[in-house]
Amino acid sequence: MKLANIFLILIYVYNIVSVLILIFVKRSDTRVIFAWLIVFLFLPYIGFIFYFLIGSKYKMRVMSKKYGMSEIEEKHNKALDKQIYDISADKIKFKEIETEKFRDLIILNSKNAMSYFTQNNNVELLISAQENFSHIFEDIKNATKSVEVLYYIFRAKDNVGKEFISLLIDKANQGVKVTLIYDGIGSLHTHMRDFKGLKKAGGHVYRFLPSIVRSVLLVNYRLHRKLVIVDGKIAYTGGINVGDEYFGLKKINKPWRDTTIRLTGDSVLSLQTRFWTDLVFLQNQNFRKKKKAKFMVDEKVLNSFYSPIEEGNLGVQILSSGPSSRNDTIKDAYVKMITSAKKYLYIQTPYFVPDKTILESLRLAAACGVDVRIMLPGIPDKKPIYAITLLNVAKLLNDGVKVYLHSGFLHAKTIVIDDQVSTVGTANIDIRSFSLNYETNAFIYNNEFAIKCRDIFLDDIKDCTIFNAEIYSKRGLWKKVYESIWRFIAPIA
């Protein structure tokens, strides 16, 4: 037998093995399995290569274990285990009586996402890039110890990027410890040389993933978090990245509507720990030898888990998820929020490509009389995903779910229920955010803050048009074909 034939047979066997693993070992969502089976069917000799590059999450779990920093997580988990016991045993008194109704959600997030529940927080809602960066830049100017920045998109050549870097250089020159992380795929046109001045001033800059080879092999995984932490006391997270488009300065998706939050109090330490863990993951990969990065963690800071900061009275949990997570933690929390809603459920998301669990949860919530409303962009940035988004929400219209299309590009990722619980963060309602991206969301248990989220949603409706079954039925034949094609690809896109 010729060598070429043997090679083709081996490749085909690898394809069969990949299919068997996908079906019997991975136990993935059936839509994901079906999408990959189509890939293997039409690309029988190279399908397994695509699966290795963008389908399997096993390699990310191995890397997280190899390059992680167990010391940070062990100290965090020790405090968390005690808190889970205290909450389950009814030993923790909630500052708001209504929070008691969501004890099961808090316990779920604690166990599922290893998320510490704190009650001494203030959270400020910011609904534009102008408002967001005005606060961030002011806080950075007042920084005395450290500034830690992590963005999926950091456009260093845009006006806001230049201003951001200039400010970080000033702080680094003042002796403030400055650390910046950006995602290499999200910030495709940003390069290390753009931060030359910052590094010269003593700042530290890291790219996810640092190795070009790993960036190719792990191209499907994105560090989609957005974090700014100042002096370990103030933190920001939400949907806004560093780029001029977030100010509505680019015609293609103007106007731009987004949401972030500014946090102070105990919850900042959870975000600080998240940043440290991501930082160590990248630091360790920079060492060619089998030598882990020497990353010192201040014991006094970690001990503050046991010593609450008297900052405010809002309950907050910080949830993180990613391809190395055991469960789709943020998705699970979303499902629990949906099923917990009794009066209303308001959702803002730029992309809506959920799995069957979320679709059924929304359908059942509406069937139970819950006022379910979903707000989406009226101007898409990714037409294939937008087509699938409209297809998915169209399935819910006959169940009583109300859908609104914003006049511009809506990039906010928020959910609020019953004037009691809300979440603001980086995760979209799609399979990519739930399973493939590294995300961070804040879950806030507070009546006053939830009402603010509710009122902003209702105010945003003024800039929306209603999307209904009649409008959707008028789409042309080409759009129907287009949707059908992308419907199969969406679960792995």
Indicate the domain borders of the chain: 3-56, 62-317, 329-492
Is 418 a known active-site residue? Answer: yes
Q: Please tell me the distance from the alpha carbon of residue 467 to that of residue 471, in angstroms, as a whole number.
A: 7
Give the per-residue pLDDT at 411: 97
Structure tokens at 156: 């260093």
Q: Please tell me the distance from the alpha carbon of residue 183 to that of residue 318, in angstroms, as a whole number.
A: 21
Burial degree of 307 (CB within 10 A; 0-12, 13-18, 19+): exposed
Q: Please, are residues 320 and 438 in contact by the beta-carbon 8 Å criterion?
A: yes
Q: Please, are residues 225 and 150 in contact by the beta-carbon 8 Å criterion?
A: yes
Residue with tokens 């809603």: 341
Q: Please tell me the distance from the alpha carbon of residue 49 to that of residue 33, in angstroms, as a whole number.
A: 16
Q: Please tell me the distance from the alpha carbon of residue 127 to that of residue 446, in angstroms, as a whole number.
A: 18
Structure tokens at 472: 């959707």
Residue with tokens 């690809």: 489
Give the per-residue pLDDT at 300: 47
Structure tokens at 67: 């390059």
| Residue from 413, 430, 452, 460 carrying the catalytic annotation | 413
DSSP-based three-state secondary structure for 214: helix
Residue with tokens 């297809």: 391
Give the per-residue pLDDT at 10: 65
Residue 470, C-beta contacts closer than 8 angstroms, at least 6 positions apart: none
| Residue from 170, 231, 244, 371 carrying the catalytic annotation | 231
Is 226 a known active-site residue? Answer: yes
Structure tokens at 10: 């081996």
CA-closest candidate to residue 410, choices 454, 349, 352: 349
**Alpha-carbon Rg for the chain in angstroms:** 23
Could you give the angle at which helices 159-173 and 129-141 cross, rounded to 10 degrees?
A: 10
Q: How far apart are the first and last CA of the chain?
A: 39
CATH fold match for the domains 62-317 and 329-492: yes
Q: What is the largest CA-CA distance in the chain?
A: 76
Give the per-residue pLDDT at 436: 84
| Residue from 411, 430, 452, 460 carrying the catalytic annotation | 411
Give the per-residue pLDDT at 280: 84
Q: Please, are residues 118 and 99 in contact by the beta-carbon 8 Å criterion?
A: no
Mean pLDDT in runs of 10 for the chain (493 residues)?
Answer: 61 62 56 61 58 53 56 69 83 90 95 92 97 98 97 97 98 97 92 96 89 57 94 96 93 88 94 89 66 49 53 92 86 97 98 93 97 96 88 93 96 98 97 90 98 98 94 75 65 54
Q: How far is CA 168 from CA 152, 198, 263, 374, 433, in A?
A: 18, 7, 20, 38, 29
| Residue from 158, 332, 355, 418 carrying the catalytic annotation | 418
Residue 427, C-beta contacts closer than 8 angstroms, at least 6 positions apart: 224, 321, 330, 413, 433, 434, 437, 439, 440, 441
Q: Please, are residues 352 and 120 in contact by the beta-carbon 8 Å criterion?
A: no
The four Cα atoms 25, 28, 30, 33 give a dihedral, to 10 degrees, of -70
Structure tokens at 159: 């006006």
Is 26 a known active-site residue? Answer: no
- Domain 62-317 annotated CATH 3.30.870.10: yes
Q: Please tell me the distance from the alpha carbon of residue 359 to that of residue 388, in angstroms, as a whole number.
A: 13
Q: Please tell me the distance from the alpha carbon of residue 22 to that of residue 17, in angstroms, as a whole number.
A: 9
Is 413 a known active-site residue? Answer: yes
Give the per-residue pLDDT at 169: 98
Q: Please tell me the distance from the alpha carbon of residue 308 to that of residue 103, in angstroms, as a whole number.
A: 20
Which spans in 286-382 are helix H? Answer: 299-303, 329-340, 356-367
CATH of 329-492, one of 3.40.1160.10, 3.10.450.50, 3.50.50.60, 3.30.870.10: 3.30.870.10
Give the per-residue pLDDT at 76: 66
352: left (phi > 0), else alpha (psi -120 to 50), else beta? Answer: beta
Q: How far is CA 353 from CA 46, 72, 207, 347, 441, in A?
A: 27, 34, 28, 13, 18
Is 411 a known active-site residue? Answer: yes
DSSP-based three-state secondary structure for 92: coil
Omega of the bond prior to 255 within 30 degrees of 0, cis?
yes
Give the per-residue pLDDT at 8: 58
Give the per-residue pLDDT at 290: 46
Give the per-residue pLDDT at 4: 60
Is 224 a known active-site residue? Answer: yes
